[in-house]
Amino acid sequence: MPVGIIINALSVLLGGIFGAIGGRKMSNNFKDGLNMAFGICSMTMGIYAIAPMKNMAAVIFAVIIGTGIGLLIHLGDLIIRGAAKMQQLISRFVSSPTGLDQKTFDATLVTVIVLFCASGTGIYGALTEGMNGDATILISKSILDFFTAAIFAANLGYVVSLIAIPQFIIFIILFLMAHSIYPLTNPAMIFDFKAAGGVLMLATGFRMVQLKMFPTADMIPAMVIIMPISWLWMTVILPML
């Protein structure tokens, strides 16, 4: 049962409702301070995931090659376009709050959709839970997402809560895919996979505190190629050294 995915979707749903009701009372300093805390928490989760890795060379190679693939196919732009279409659908049912022009509302909503539906941490968490039932990453992410949804809902309104629906659908698909892949893996490959996900979580943390805008969406292919590279490193390259 995808407990972590359900909890994560509920955190966005309830956070959006909470923010729409009382979020306007939050000061900008309070919001900025929380965002900094979210960033350092994401970095901490990334470091925790990286620590047990077995093959550093394989992880580094996967991150570099995966990011290169993402940049070549403009994955980040494709995700933003998909989010924009999702936003158009959502906006048919929910109009922009009073005092917020439509252009600003649309641009911010696209950002929120990408954040909740296509973040490296979310994708990594859904895949991890699908592989071995570990919901820790998604449950930890849910704490951050609740307050993040509340902060965005203070400006965007109840529409933020609706993002929980596509988020749940996307993560469930990843969960089911990972559940089929897991029997083909070994413990070392799993540790390297988690380490690659940890790199994405570190990059996400840096983006959240706006120290460096890493192309986190374009880095997602690293999560696809890390396992075959890890297997290749252990079975072919290491025996040759």
The pLDDT score that the predictor gives to residue 221 is: 87
**What is the band of 94 on the pLDDT scale with cuts at 50, 70, 90?**
low
**What is the band of 91 on the pLDDT scale with cuts at 50, 70, 90?**
low
**Least trusted range by pLDDT, from 70-79, 97-106, 141-150, 197-206:** 97-106
Question: Which tens digit of pLDDT belongs to each residue from 152-179?
Answer: 888 778 888 888 988 999 899 999 988 8
Percent of the chain's residues with pLDDT above 90:
20
Q: What is the mean pLDDT of residues 191-195?
A: 86
pTM above 0.85, yes or no: no
**Least trusted range by pLDDT, from 128-137, 140-149, 209-218:** 209-218
Please determine, for residue 98, whether its predicted confidence score (pLDDT) is greater than 60: no
Q: Mind spelling out the 3-state secondary structure of the chain?
A: CCHHHHHHHHHHHHHHHHHHHHHHHCCHHHHHHHHHHHHHHHHHHHHHHHCCCCCHHHHHHHHHHHHHHHHHCCHHHHHHHHHHHHHHHHHCCCCCCCCCCHHHHHHHHHHHHHHHHCCHHHHHHHHHHHHHCCCHHHHHHHHHHHHHHHHHHHHHCCHHHHCHHHHHHHHHHHHHHHHHHHHHCCHHHHHHHHHHHHHHHHHHHHHHCCCCCCCCCCCCCHHHHHHHHHHHHHHHHHHHC
Please determine, for residue 9, whether its predicted confidence score (pLDDT) is greater than 90: yes
The pLDDT score that the predictor gives to residue 155 is: 76
Q: What is the mean pLDDT of residues 74-91?
A: 78
**Least trusted range by pLDDT, from 23-32, 37-46, 190-199:** 23-32
Higher pLDDT, 201 or 50: 50
The pLDDT score that the predictor gives to residue 220 is: 82
